[in-house]
Chains A and B, each alone.
Chain A
Amino acid sequence: MLKIRNLESGYGKIRVLKRISMHVDPGEIVTIIGANGAGKTTLLATIAGLVKATSGEMIFRGQELAATAAERIPALGCVMVPEGRQVFATLTVEENLILGGHVLQQREGSRAVSENLEHQYQLFPILRDRKQQLAGTLSGGEQQMLAMARALMSKPSLVMMDEPSTGLAPLIVREIFQVIVRLRDEGNTVLLVEQNAKAALGIADRGYVLETGKIILQGPAEDLLANNDVQRAYLGREKIEGEE
């Protein structure tokens, strides 16, 4: 579905991503884990077109994303849930969702938007209760759900999520991750960037480990979970030698 080869990008003269190659297949959850500043967010922002790639290729369903303007990428079926929610704070919850359905509206008409709106309310019942409220007045967890629902309103084939667990209480994080699993079970494809490596690898099918802009490890999620380097660096288990 998404194939990235030798991707490089950055801000101005600063090169953040160095020769990244990776792929995402339909129907799987792929996670990218790594420390702060490893380039995870830059990678997603580059795929979404917010940051311009300096070299390499990103083929999404046969289309070269690097040559596509950021606002045209959602119409191809690739949407991003940005870090820190970024809801339209001064608009109501329902307006946020309708705006998320903007590309669906252009592709399939208003009927499809209202049907999908109903579907999102079923997936996130809390949003139905709050639909006339201004999005900025929601709690952090509710805003995260709104941001996810807004992205799903476009019926994307690939959803990219940037740090959905940031700043949320553990219980809410669990709920969000359950929703991500449900999305996969419904046939969606998810590319998940997380600092919370344990939770992310717990639900993912495959994972990539990013360090200072390079992919240093990749494989099935359970292999990465069991990997000693990953455990030491990202799962906070220093003294596990001798266990098991």
Chain B
Amino acid sequence: MTTELFIQYCFAGLTYGSIYAIVAIGFNIIYNTTGIINFAQGEFVMLGGMISISLLPFMPMPLAIASAVVLTMVIGALIEIVFIRWLKDPSVLRMIIITIGISILTREAASHVWGENIRALPYFIGNEITAISILGARISPQVLVVIGVCGLMVATLGVFFKTTSVGRQMRACSANRTAAVLCGINTRNMVTFSFILSAGIGALAGCIMSPITYSQYDIGTGLAIKGFTVAIIGGLGNAGSAVIAGLLLGLIEAFSVSVVPLAFQDAIAIAILLIILFVRPHGLFGSSEAAGLKEF
């Protein structure tokens, strides 16, 4: 393999990897406050892309993206308020099945609104053939945008959870819900916040990846599976290692193209998921001790 090809694969892997990482972080945020896997997470990514594309004729792109993110956050909040908030002591299984239902519902609604056409936002910088040369490899600037924005999101989320009051309350909720109630924290609001936050980062990821990966009403399912794999590899609830796991899966997929046919790419993620679930259910990086400190 030549150096150029190697770097080309690396960047392809990092691009998809950072998208997977963002989806996985979305899973983790909701998992941490509720103990459930929100299988509609991939739909947030789809909605972000599709809404921004629909808004584009009416406003400049940055505004279209911002509006799409805000609208998806509103949808995230509505989903939580309508389907989850009023449930009294729901079991984890019941909530998970609800999210699967929401995922199907959103997907079908999207296919009615937008049809089955494949759409895409235009490239943010230049067009399809604009490329920057890095060590001989030709990289689209959009790739750097995706990697950069995802990195920025991760850093911002880290600061948010560490230093802000709402971030701290959300972590308290995930560490011990009863104790959070006894501190006077409104845990139901924290659950709503976690849906809003997950919807927001998912939608933003959906916008920035759209020029490269395209947007369609049903991209959510595939992304949810990849994101779920990454969340499991990193250890559920562990946002930091989700980033590493996401990039790892992205790179593995990218390099696998040189060994096995492209059609097997998705099978690789599923195979990794199954192996991890059998061998290390607490994830590659999550320690079983840290998992023991958690309530869920």
- A residues with CB within 8 A of B: 48-50, 70-75, 79-80, 82, 86-91, 95, 98-100, 102-103, 105, 134, 136, 150-151, 154
Can you list 28 contacts pairing A with B, beta carbon distance less than 8 Å?
A50-B178, A70-B182, A71-B181, A72-B184, A75-B184, A82-B179, A86-B178, A86-B179, A88-B171, A88-B176, A88-B179, A89-B293, A89-B294, A90-B290, A90-B293, A90-B294, A91-B175, A98-B168, A99-B168, A99-B172, A99-B180, A99-B183, A102-B183, A103-B183, A134-B293, A150-B183, A151-B182, A154-B184
Which has the most chain B C-beta neighbours within 10 Å: A75, A100, A151?
Answer: A100
Q: Which residue of A lies closest to B295 (CB)?
A: A89
Contact with A along B161-202 (1 / 0, CB 8 A): 000010011011011101111111111000000000000000
Contacts of A72 in B (CB 8 A): 184
Docked CA distance A80–B169 (Å): 18
Question: In the assembled complex, which residues on chain A have CB atoms less than 8 Å from the CB atom of B169?
Answer: 99, 102
A99 to B180, CA, bound (A): 8
Contact B171 A90 (CB under 8 A): yes
Q: Report chain A residues within 8 Å CB of B171.
A: 88, 90-91, 95
Between B168, B175, B187, the greatest number of chain A beta carbons within 10 A of the residue's beta carbon is seen for B175
Distance in angstroms between the alpha carbons of A48 and B181 in the assembled complex: 10
What is the bound-complex CA distance between A26 and B176, given in angstroms? 31
Give the residue of B174, B175, B186, B293 whose beta carbon is less than 8 angstroms from that of A71. Answer: B186
**In the complex, what residues of B have CB within 8 A of residue A105's CB?**
165
Interface centre among A74, A82, A88, A100 (most CB of B within 10 A): A88
Other than the given A91-B168, A91-B171, 16 more pairs (CB < 8 A) read A70-B182, A71-B185, A74-B184, A86-B178, A86-B179, A86-B182, A87-B176, A87-B179, A90-B171, A90-B290, A90-B294, A99-B185, A102-B165, A102-B183, A136-B293, A151-B182
Residue B176 contacts which of A89, A102, A134, A151 (CB distance < 8 angstroms)? Answer: A89
CA–CA, A61 to B10, complex, Å? Answer: 65
**Chain B 152-167 interface mask (CB, 8 Å, partner A; 1/0):** 0000000000000100
Chain A CB within 10 Å, residue with most, of B168, B184, B294: B184
The 6 A-B residue pairs whose C-beta atoms are closest, nearest first, are A74-B184, A88-B175, A103-B184, A89-B293, A136-B293, A86-B179
Nearest-Cβ distance from residue A60 to partner chain B, whole angstroms: 14
Residues in A with CB closer than 8 Å to B186 are: 71
- Chain A residue numbers with a CB within 8 Å of B172 are 88, 91, 95, 99
| Chain B interface residue count, Cβ-Cβ cutoff 8 angstroms | 21
Q: Which residue of B lies closest to A75 (CB)?
A: B184
Contact status B176-A86, CB under 8 Å: yes
Identify the closest chain A residue to B173 (Cβ).
A88
B residues less than 8 Å from A71 (CB atoms): 181, 184-187
Q: State in angstroms the CA–CA spacing of A102 and B186 once bound together.
A: 11
Which of B165, B172, B185 is most buried by chain A, counting CB atoms within 10 A of its CB?
B172
Q: In the complex, which residue of chain B has the Cβ closest to the Cβ of A80?
A: B182
CB contact list, B7-59 vs A, under 8 A: none
Known contacts A89-B293, A136-B293: does B182 contact A79 (CB below 8 Å)?
yes
- Give every chain B residue within 8 A of A98 (Cβ-Cβ): 168
Residue in B168, B178, B181 whose beta carbon sits within 8 Å of that of A95 in the complex: B168
- Rounded to whole Å, the gap between the CB of A51 and the closest CB of chain B is 11
User: Are B181 and A100 in contact, CB atoms less than 8 angstroms apart?
Assistant: no
In contact, A48 and B184 (Cβ under 8 angstroms): no
Q: How far is the CA of A49 from the CA of B184 in the complex (A)?
A: 11
- Nearest opposing residue in chain B for A98, CB measure: B168
* With A88-B175, A90-B171: A50-B293 Cβ-Cβ less than 8 Å: no
Kindly state the separation between the CA atoms of A75 and B178 in the bound complex, as whole angstroms.
Answer: 16
A73 to B185, alpha carbons, bound, how many Å? Answer: 10
What residues on B are CB-neighbors of A50 within 8 Å? Answer: 178, 181-182
Chain A residues in 8 Å Cβ range of B180: 88, 99
